[in-house]
Structure formats: structure tokens, C-alpha cells
């Protein structure tokens, strides 16, 4: 394969972001896009005349015959788009949440695993310099076995009562704070600690939304004795940009991290890293590796280049594959089940 012929399905906020990033990859040619909005397609056609545009994603796949696609539609459409791509032997990068339904996530995971197709879900934190550093330090045992953790995420996505409803307003479409925001905080736990063995004490609140949760909290329990809490709020106007916050307490120390930096408290000097007993601060500038093209954060470029390079180098590309997508989906499904069982009436 000389260049990857790429199609993008769903040209809203994330579709446009991913278009601009992957367009910078020297071995990727964006040949086609699909969106149901005529306005979006007309604008793209005007500024990128060679681009093939389609209203129907099936037509995009049948007519432009891409090697790979990026799926950025509302989540309830991810299943059918990924499924159609799989039937046509197309590599897929699918935005999070993987699906809006646990059974569909399981089916896609198994179908893609049965074919040698690259499959990746857009859990972008796995490509963030700080969280990758945290993962490395956990694996090296810097803070010892983790006893307790907190994974939190705050955004100001919904800040008033909805005047018009969109896919974000309905769980069955992939809306709500769990699918939209907690998905990232959950995937970080899966990535750094592992999938929980039990989920208890889940509660959800509504502030402005009529049909979906605005806040979720829960406790994750593990067979090895570790436990931790999840707390996510998508109505928090004290945050201008999405913020992931982590606290990990281990037997040898503690890590506090967000996307931009980390603080490490150690009970004793660490010879391998050179960190001292007490507090150590690590800035993103201390650990970051540069990317060729920057939009929104290095991690957004890194995740898409990883997808493209996995296809080009015929590597497994399993850093955030559909199996990881399924795991996060499983946890989200458990949150819904547990919160229902905890309702007082
Ligand atoms: N990784 C992240 O940080 C991040 C951030 C925001 C959104 N997302 C995810 O990205 C996905 C898209 O979110 P968004 O914010 O771009 O939403 P959006 O509403 O801005 O865009 C969705 C686009 O899909 C189009 N669409 C709808 N039905 C379609 C169909 N049948 N065929 C083709 N196009 C169709 C819509 O016209 C719209 O342009 C969601 O899964 C969301 O959870 C991820």
C-alpha cells in the first residue's frame, strides 16, 4: 500500500478535527467524506473540490472504496457503520463511546478480531504524554501496589435547560454524561488499573437535562483488594475545558495527575527515576514528545497517526482497539444497571 485511501463518516465537530489532523499525514489521502447535512457537504465541496462527498455512508464505502475510515457520527450509528466497514474489509477508527449498546460492542469486537483489520476507539487519553508516563510509572512499581484511586472528569458541556434536543439528550443515541464524558474517565481506569470486577454505589443526578444524567459517581471494586471511585459532572461551569483528574494511592507513594502535569509523593527516594522522598512535580514539557501537526493536544494527533501507521506497517495497532472499547462499554452498562438498582423509588 503506497498511501492509505481514507474516508471520514460524520463531519461534525470531531469529523472536522480528525480531518485536519490526518490530512497532515504524508501517507494518507482523504478521498471521501459522508454526512447527512447538505450544508456541511456543500462547504467541503466548495473548499476541497477533489473530495468525494456522500450523504449516505454506504455509498461512500461502495463508490470511493477506502482502505480505512474514521467514524464520527453520533454513537448510536457507530455499530452499523463499523459493521458495514468490516463486511467490506476496511480498517476502522471509531470515536468513543464505541457503541450505544453493550451487545453491539461485543459483536463488533469479535467480528474485527476475526479479521486482520486495524480497529481503534478514540479514547484519546491513552495517547496523552502525562497519562502514558503515569502508566509507565505504575508498571515500573514507582508507587507500589495501588490500594485506592479516584478518576474524575469535569466539563461545561450542558450549562442550561435544553431549548432544542440533540443526540446528546438521549441515552439510546449515545447521549448523557456517562457516554459522553465518563467514558474517558472509565477508559483511563481500564488503561491504568484494569477493568473493575464489581461496581457498587452508583448514583446519577440531573441538573439541566430532561432525559439523561448530568452527574455520575460510583465505586469500582477489584478482586485483589484495590478499590476506587468515579466522579463525573458535565455541567460544571468552573471548568472552561474538559479536565481529567486522577489520584492514585499506592503502598510506596501517591500520584496526582491531569492532562497537563503530575505530582508524585514518594515515601522514599527512587533510584531508577531520581525522584526524591516527598513531593516531585513533573510538567508536560518534561515528558512530552512532539507531533508533526498540532490540533487540540498532542494526543489527538498521536492517536490518529498510530492508527495510520498501524495500517501502513501492518502492526497489530492494539493500544486502544475494539476490545478496549468493549471494556469501557461493559463498565458503562454496569453503571446504568447499578444506578437503577440503587433508586429509592
Ligand atoms: N474524543 C473526544 O474527545 C470527543 C469529543 C467530542 C465528541 N466525541 C465523539 O465523537 C462523535 C461525534 O461527536 P461530535 O461532537 O462530532 O458530534 P456532532 O453532532 O458535532 O457531529 C456528528 C455529525 O454526524 C453527522 N451524521 C448524523 N447522522 C449521520 C449519518 N447517518 N451518516 C453520516 N453522518 C451523519 C451529523 O450531521 C454531524 O455532522 C461522538 O461519538 C462523540 O461522543 C469525542
Q: Please name which of 330, 329, 100, 340 lies closest in space to residue 202, comparing C-alpha atoms.
A: 340
CATH T-level topology, domain 4-122+299-316: Rossmann fold (3.40.50)
Confidence band of 35 (pLDDT split at 50, 70, 90): very high
Cβ-contact 72, 8 below 8 angstroms: yes
Return the best residue to mutate from 14, 69, 174 for the ligand 1 pocket (most ligand atoms within 8 A of CB): 14
The architecture of the domain spanning 125-293+328-344 is 2-Layer Sandwich (3.30)
Whether 79 shows a pLDDT value over 70: the answer reads yes
| Tens digit of each residue's pLDDT (9 = 90 or more) over 62-78 | 999 999 999 999 999 99
Whether the pTM exceeds 0.75: the reply is yes
The mean pLDDT of the chain is 97
User: How far, in Å, is the centroid of ligand 1 from the Cα of 236?
Assistant: 22
Residue 167 alpha carbon, nearest atom of ligand 1: 19
Cα 95 to its chain centre, rounded Å, is: 7
**Which of 199, 165, 226, 144 is closest to 333 using CA atoms?**
199
Residue 344's pLDDT is 85
- Report the nearest atom of ligand 1 relative to the CA of 15: 16
Residue of 73, 97, 125 to mutate, ligand 1, most atoms within 8 A of C-beta: 73
> What residues does ligand 1 touch, defined as CB less than 6 Å away?
9-15, 34-37, 40, 57, 72-75, 77, 95-96, 122, 124, 174, 180
Query: Is pLDDT at 317 greater than 90 in this prediction?
Result: no
Locate the DSSP E strands across 19-145. Answer: 28-34, 52-54, 68-71, 91-94, 119-121
Q: How far is the centre of ligand 1, averaged over its atoms, from the C-alpha of 72 (Å)?
A: 4
Interval between CA 241 and ligand 1 midpoint (Å)? 19
Give the pLDDT confidence of 196-217 residue by residue, as tens digits. 999 999 999 999 999 999 999 9
| Atom of ligand 1 at shortest range from CA of 71 | 11
- What are the extents of the domains in the chain? 4-122+299-316, 125-293+328-344
Q: Quote the ligand 1 centre to 319 CA distance (angstroms).
A: 23
Can you give the pLDDT at residue 300?
Answer: 98
Amino acid at each position: 500500500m503506497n498511501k492509505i485511501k481514507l474516508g471520514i463518516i460524520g463531519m461534525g465537530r470531531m469529523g472536522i478535527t480528525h480531518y485536519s489532523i490526518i490530512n497532515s499525514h504524508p501517507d494518507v489521502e482523504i478521498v471521501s467524506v459522508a454526512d447527512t447535512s447538505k450544508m456541511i457537504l456543500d462547504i467541503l465541496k466548495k473548499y476541497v473540490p477533489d473530495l468525494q462527498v456522500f450523504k449516505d455512508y454506504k455509498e461512500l464505502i461502495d463508490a470511493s472504496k477506502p482502505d480505512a475510515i474514521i467514524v464520527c457520527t453520533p454513537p448510536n450509528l457507530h455499530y452499523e457503520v463499523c459493521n458495514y466497514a468490516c463486511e467490506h474489509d476496511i480498517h476502522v477508527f471509531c470515536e468513543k463511546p464505541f457503541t450505544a449498546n453493550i451487545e453491539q460492542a461485543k459483536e463488533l469486537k469479535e467480528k474485527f478480531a476475526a479479521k486482520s483489520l486495524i480497529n481503534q476507539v478514540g479514547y484519546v487519553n491513552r495517547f496523552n504524554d502525562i497519562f502514558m508516563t503515569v502508566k509507565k510509572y505504575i508498571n515500573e512499581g514507582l508507587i507500589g501496589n495501588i490500594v485506592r484511586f479516584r478518576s474524575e472528569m469535569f466539563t461545561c458541556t450542558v450549562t442550561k435547560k435544553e431549548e432544542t434536543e440533540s443526540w446528546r439528550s438521549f441515552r439510546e443515541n449515545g447521549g448523557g454524561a456517562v457516554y459522553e464524558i465518563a467514558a474517558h474517565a472509565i477508559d483511563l481506569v481500564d488503561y491504568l488499573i484494569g477493568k473493575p470486577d464489581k461496581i457498587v454505589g452508583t448514583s446519577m443526578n440531573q441538573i439541566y437535562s430532561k432525559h439523561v444524567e448530568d452527574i455520575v459517581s460510583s465505586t469500582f471494586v477489584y478482586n485483589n483488594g484495590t478499590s476506587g471511585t468515579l466522579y463525573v459532572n458535565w455541567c460544571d461551569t468552573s471548568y472552561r475545558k474538559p479536565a481529567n483528574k486522577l489520584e492514585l494511592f499506592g503502598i510506596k507513594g501517591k500520584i496526582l495527575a491531569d492532562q497537563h502535569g503530575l505530582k508524585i509523593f514518594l515515601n522514599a527516594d527512587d533510584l531508577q527515576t531520581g525522584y526524591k522522598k516527598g513531593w516531585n512535580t513533573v510538567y508536560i514539557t518534561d515528558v512530552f514528545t512532539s507531533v508533526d501537526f498540532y490540533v487540540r493536544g498532542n494526543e489527538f494527533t498521536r492517536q490518529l497517526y498510530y492508527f495510520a501507521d498501524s495500517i501502513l506497517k501492518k502492526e497489530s495497532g492494539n493500544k486502544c482497539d475494539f476490545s478496549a472499547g468493549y471494556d469501557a462499554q461493559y463498565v458503562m452498562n454496569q453503571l446504568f444497571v447499578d444506578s437503577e438498582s440503587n433508586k429509592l423509588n
